[in-house]
Amino acid sequence: MALRLLKRIFIGLDAGPKSNYLPGSTPTTSEYYEGMNKWYREYRQDSLTRNCVNLLAFFSTCKGHETVLELIDQVALSEEEKQKTLEKYTHVKDRVDQLNKAVNLDWILFIAVIKAKIYGKVGFEIQPKFEEGWPQRLIPLLSEKLKPDIEENWEHSGFTYKGQKSFYNPGEILYFPNLSIEGDLEGLSDVEPIAGSAQTRRKIITEDLPEVAHTLWAPLSIHEVDTTGLSESEAQKAIDSHVAQIKPGKSIATNQKIKVTVVDANVNFAGLVTALEYCDTDIIGNFNVPRFLLSREKQVNRATAQIEYKAFIEGPITDIQRYFKRQIERQWYDPITRNVLELGEDDPLPVRVKHVWNIVAFHDLYDLAEAISKLWGPHGMGPLAGKLKKVWELMHWDPEELEEGK
């Protein structure tokens, strides 16, 4: 045992990640959307899509988790014997908790939910790998470059990464496919079904509405300038001089003969708003996120909000947590347990570490928001007036979102 421990320590000192970091190679470093993964592009550009995905990840992980040690074969044992047996294995749970803290597992799972929803899959390299030392980092890999290697007998033999087949062995990364309905272990993106609505919504907001606002304030007009008797250059100069004086809502004084015809644009502003609302409904419905959490309800009824929130927690949030719980236990906790107890892959485990999520309750969120609203005060005249950063902290929201103006 001592030799094995020394080997793990010394090998671990020289171990490094398989994936190399190249400056400017990650999606977040690019400001150009051409060639970018199409689902990630929609997540990045459309605020509603991003908020929906982030809320699913937030409510799945915001309360953190606990680890619980459980005996696998406990039928023939009394309660007292079970307790004594568990006490012999507390060092297993301690090691799991230590490694969870070292790799910042809460944050890793938050990122895992986001990337799985965007790309349909997400992987993290375990570094160093278990046979080289105790893991200290979980390095996020580029999801679109990661592909499970499935053999003809349906055996999962490893992962292709950046075109290199079997670059990773199965136990070298944590891998989470989203809605994997086939044996290929490839997942489906949750952004894909609403990509059209996200693109339409973005066009309306960034192109159509600014154009409508300009057209409604300064309608199109045709100006006929009489340039009789002027040379071509003098005529062009007179026209340019007149155009330069045109300002929305301002009067123009001129000694030239000018005829102005105003063109009625007949802008269907209500139609654009209706189209925008339809896109919002399609995106929100796709992710099953309550509208009041996205500030899309003009009035929030407590009873209705409570029903929607309960359905949200017991539906998509519980599904996400159930899936990640099973994967973390199988891919992370079980290998740690085997290494602590020095068991082979085929040896049965005497105990298992279970992943238990802490769920946020409805009254926690609603009552907290109501209390902070009162502290903000009518017309922003309360004790928290002007202290948006403090409001963000009290609501346990990411302060970076406030700084970025999201």
In the predicted model, what is the mean pLDDT of the chain? 83
Residue position matching structure tokens 């970076």: 400
Q: Please state the rounded mean pLDDT for residues 267-284.
A: 85
Return the pLDDT at 382: 78
> What pLDDT is stored for residue 316 in this prediction?
93
What average pLDDT does this structure show over 202-211?
85
pLDDT at 374: 78
Give the pLDDT of residue 250. Answer: 63
Q: Comparing C-alpha atoms, which of 116, 129, 111 is closest to residue 173?
A: 129
Is the predicted pLDDT of residue 6 greater than 50, yes or no?
no
Same domain, 114 and 161: yes
Residue 185 — pLDDT band, cuts 50, 70, 90?
Answer: very high
270 inside domain: no
Instruction: Give per-residue pLDDT as tens, 85-138.
Output: 888 989 999 999 999 999 999 999 999 999 999 999 999 999 998 888 899 999
- pLDDT attached to residue 255: 62
Both 116 and 17 in a single domain? yes
Three-state DSSP state, 142: coil
* Final residue belonging to a domain, choices 262, 287, 320: 262
**Residue 29 placed within a domain:** yes
Same domain, 350 and 388: no
Q: pLDDT-derived band of residue 15, with 50, 70 and 90 as boundaries? A: low
Helix (H) or strand (E) holding 11: helix 2-14
Same domain, 75 and 177: yes
77 within a domain of the structure (yes/no): yes
Asked if residue 63 and residue 144 are part of one domain, the reply reads yes
204 has pLDDT over 50 = yes
Reference 246, options 213, 211, 218, 210; nearest CA is 218
pLDDT of amino acid 178: 95
Q: What is the mean predicted confidence (pLDDT) over 328-342?
A: 94
One domain, residues 55 and 157: yes
Residue 103 within a domain:
yes
Neighbouring C-beta atoms of residue 75, cutoff 10 Å: 5
Residue 90 domain-assigned (yes or no): yes
Q: Specify the residue for token string 């986001």.
A: 114
- Would you state the pLDDT for residue 293? 86
Contact criterion met (CB below 8 Å) for 146 and 123: yes
**313 and 400 in one domain?**
no
Cβ neighbors of 382 (< 8 A, separation 6 or more) are: 374, 375, 376
- 16: tokens are 């490094």
Instruction: Give every CB contact of residue 205 below 8 A, 6+ residues apart in sequence.
Output: 276
- Residues 354 and 399 placed together within one structural domain of the fold: no
Q: Are strands 146-150 and 156-161 parallel, antiparallel or unpaired?
A: antiparallel
- Domain boundary among the residues 244, 262, 280 is at 262
One DSSP character per residue, 13-76 reads: HH---SSPP-TT-SGGG----TTS-HHHHHHHH-HHHHHHHHHHHHHHHTT-EEEEEEESS-TT
Mean pLDDT of 64-83: 82
Residue 108 lies in a domain: yes
Residue scoring higher pLDDT (138 or 219): 138
Q: For residues 361 and 311, which has the higher predicted lDDT (pLDDT)?
A: 311
pLDDT at 218: 59
Domain that holds residue 88: 2-193+302-361
Nearest alpha carbon to residue 175 among 327, 9, 313: 327
Q: Is the pLDDT of residue 10 over 50?
A: no
So what's the pLDDT on residue 365? 65
Over 70: is that where the pLDDT of 364 sits? no
The domain tally of the chain equals 3
Residue 294 resides in a domain = no
SS3 294: helix
What is residue 271's three-state secondary structure? helix
Task: Kindly state the average pLDDT of the residues 304-317.
Answer: 86
What integer pLDDT is reported at residue 212 of this predicted model? Answer: 75
Give the lowest-confidence range in 22-36, 272-286, 303-317: 22-36
Q: How far, in Å, CA of 135 to CA of 126, rounded?
A: 6
Task: Give CA–CA dist 109/366, Å, rounded.
Answer: 25
Residues 308 and 392 in one domain: no
95 plus 137 within the same structural domain: yes
Q: How confident is the model at residue 56 (pLDDT cuts 50, 70, 90)?
A: very high
Mean of the pLDDT values across residues 221-246?
Answer: 74
- The answer to whether residue 198 sits within a structural domain is no
Q: Do 387 and 258 share a structural domain? A: no
Q: Last residue of a domain, which of 262, 284, 318?
A: 262
Q: Which of 401, 403, 404 is nearest to 58 (CA)?
A: 401
What's residue 9's pLDDT?
A: 45
- Same domain? For 323 and 405 the reply is no
Q: CA 49 → CA 40, 290, 300, distances in Å?
A: 10, 13, 22
